[in-house]
Amino acid sequence: MATDSPRRPSRCTGGVVVRPQAVTEQSYMESVVTFLQDVVPQAYSGTPLTEEKEKIVWVRFENADLNDTSRNLEFHEIHSTGNEPPLLIMIGYSDGMQVWSIPISGEAQELFSVRHGPIRAARILPAPQFGTQKCDNFAEKRPLLGVCKSAGSSGTSPPYCCVDLYSLRTGEMVKSIQFKTPIYDLHCNKRILVVVLQEKIAAFDSCTFTKKFFVTSCYPCPGPNMNPIALGSRWLAYAENKLIRCHQSRGGACGDNIQSYTATVISAAKTLKTGLTMVGKVVTQLTGTLPSGVTEDDVALHSNSRRSPLVPGIITVIDTETVGEGQVLVSEDSDSDGIVAHFPAHEKPVCCMAFNTSGMLLVTTDTLGHDFHVFQILTHPWSSSQSAVHHLYTLHRGETEAKVQDICFSHDCRWVVVSTLRGTSHVFPINPYGGQPCVRTHMSPRVVNRMSRFQKSAGLEEIEQELTSKQGGRCSPVPGLSSSPSGSPLHGKLNSQDSYNNFANNNPGNPRLSPLPSLMVLMPLAQIKQPMTLGTITKRTGPYLFGAGCFSIKAPCKVKPPPQISPSKSMGGEFCVAAMFGTSRSWFANNAGLKREKDQSKQVVVESLYIISCYGTLVEHMMEPRPLSTAPKISDDTPLEVMTSPRASWTLVRTPQWNELQPPFNANHPLLLAADAVQYYQFLLAGLVPPGSPGPITRHGSYDSLASDHSGQEDEEWLSQVKL
């Protein structure tokens, strides 16, 4: 490699280390040259290609033991030590996969690389929780890597119909789970491993990998997620194919927004196109041929939907701990054990969904991709019919259709980023408790309360409650919409189809719930378009005016960006991207001679946004929220605008010349060190003797150790310093 190359070999793992490169403004001619080198063939451009790159099929940010802050002792005191968990990135190629780790130092480190054919899905399985750790037969083999390859271990199974579990410590395959139908995705947490099929979900215990439960009533989606689900630390949400009245939770979606004139024209044109397409399908079914672009699966899905009265847009949330074993069936004859919530979320089929860190917020989107709904799930210990699902936000993207492929929350749940297959990431501000995002809620490094001190002391909330009670209900900022969980148009339309009287849906109020805020319709504050190359990075920033019905885009770039080709035309496929919030790692690229300060992350209001695209370039974007520049006066209720700018980039795409990096690994490999640290930490929590420890573990945090280690005189001195 050249001396100025950002890549170098790693002494720790033997893989490749990539240093971050500062993103600087390029001239227009330099951008055009870079664009031509990556897109136009060498014979036509006259310039030699820089380096051959392998084709990327999918990208993903992974959560494993390596970056789990709750199970690693070194991450427990992040703010005092300055130690941050690394970013873990998985890249799927047309021939194999790759795993990268980016610690707080900023240097990306290759952890795993293999070329064994195409891989549809892969996950690094976290170690099971200590409640089941005693019967873990795979403790000496962990960490484990779950892979869904084109050809299974036996070689006779159909493509993508088995999940193989490999040990990253020894390199051997320890388990193989076979299926009769293709697998589309894998999800995992500390409790279960979820295998997603087209219309089914199978969950396996994370300790023994025996089948725990399965769901057969899923509503399939055209794509990109054939069967979208969301898996939190304990809850599992999936798209149900029917609405069962006796299990229906109080609340749900508050209906669709009123379409503008442009959206109406676009919808009419698409309706005409759909009608012509359906006529073509009927004709081709009679003649026995299929038009170009129409598959047999589409026809089968349409015919099945005509035979069975399936209802799209229904979400079911189950508790993976209390759902029991066997089939999870939501029907009028079944009980509600393990069912957390069951509610209507959209009128169209659900395309993608995601939980926040706590699992209390759920973001869903349908196949149109116009609006994204943010729900707050308030459970009831009795049954799902007593649970409340409050529609907090409707995040409006635009009038054109787009398929959503990725949704991510910030760690404080004040920002949501939704990425589509067009390569655009939409940044929305939200509050975990609802309400209007403003300067008071998003200009502080920490999450603030629902109301300011002035609002509490002045009694403004009590006055608002009194006015709304006299008006007979809560107000809504959007005409035709109601913020009451039981009074929405969509909810009423679904209830009118059946005369079943559900007490939870028809009662006027719930004494368990505090007054909930009104539904808010938000526009994105920023749209970040991923470039084909680093030379074509464009900065597209806000502000988008709340409630103004229009938006403006400010481009701080002084040079005109080169023309970009649509990903579908240039690559022959979709433009896959993935996003994740994290602590800034661009300080090393911009200030190579400076040392990182421990309290540097405390001064940042918003974490950095990391976006990786199918071209293998990871870009760190800095986000700076500030009051709206056009506001006449800045106050706590002033709307926001966000300025985004790329700071650093990492070129992680693999070339055919790179060597593979497979287990068995050395003892100092980061994945192995993380697995050993998690196992040691769980033994400490249980008060047991970890393997290799010379003696018993003393738990100084228990009351027995306090009573035995401290004398009465020390206790009196301690009590004398207590301030009430």
Q: Which domains does the chain have, with CATH numbers?
A: 53-256+311-445+517-533+575-588+604-669 (2.130.10.10)
- Which residue from 160, 159, 166, 127 is spatially nearest to 145, judged by alpha carbons? 166
C-alpha neighbours within 13 Å on the C-beta side of residue 631: 19
Q: Kindly state the helix (H) or strand (E) to which residue 404 belongs, with its residue range.
A: strand 404-409
What whole-number distance in Å separates Cα of residue 339 and Cα of residue 320?
9
Please state whether 281 falls in left (phi above 0), alpha (psi between -120 and 50) or beta.
alpha
Q: Which residues of the chain have pLDDT under 70?
A: 1-5, 11-12, 24-51, 73-82, 130-134, 152-156, 255-308, 455-456, 459-516, 531-573, 587-603, 686-724
Q: Which residues contact 379 (CB under 8 A, 6 or more apart)?
A: 340, 341, 387
- Which residue from 428, 365, 404 is spatially nearest to 575, judged by alpha carbons? 404
Report the 10 Å Cβ neighbour count for 500.
Answer: 12
- Which residue from 715, 684, 714, 710 is spatially nearest to 698, judged by alpha carbons? 684
Write the pLDDT tens digit of every residue in 1-43.
444 567 787 766 778 999 999 886 553 345 445 555 555 554 4
Report pLDDT for 136: 81
What whole-number distance in Å separates Cα of residue 56 and Cα of residue 298?
26
- Which residue from 362, 296, 314, 322 is spatially nearest to 217, judged by alpha carbons? 314
Report the 10 Å Cβ neighbour count for 198.
Answer: 15
Q: Which residues contact 612 (CB under 8 A, 6 or more apart)?
A: 59, 61, 89, 91, 577, 578, 618, 619, 652
- Please tell me whether residue 55 adopts helix, strand or coil conformation: coil
Q: Check if the beta carbon of residue 175 is closer than 8 Å to that of residue 209.
A: yes
Report pLDDT for 335: 84
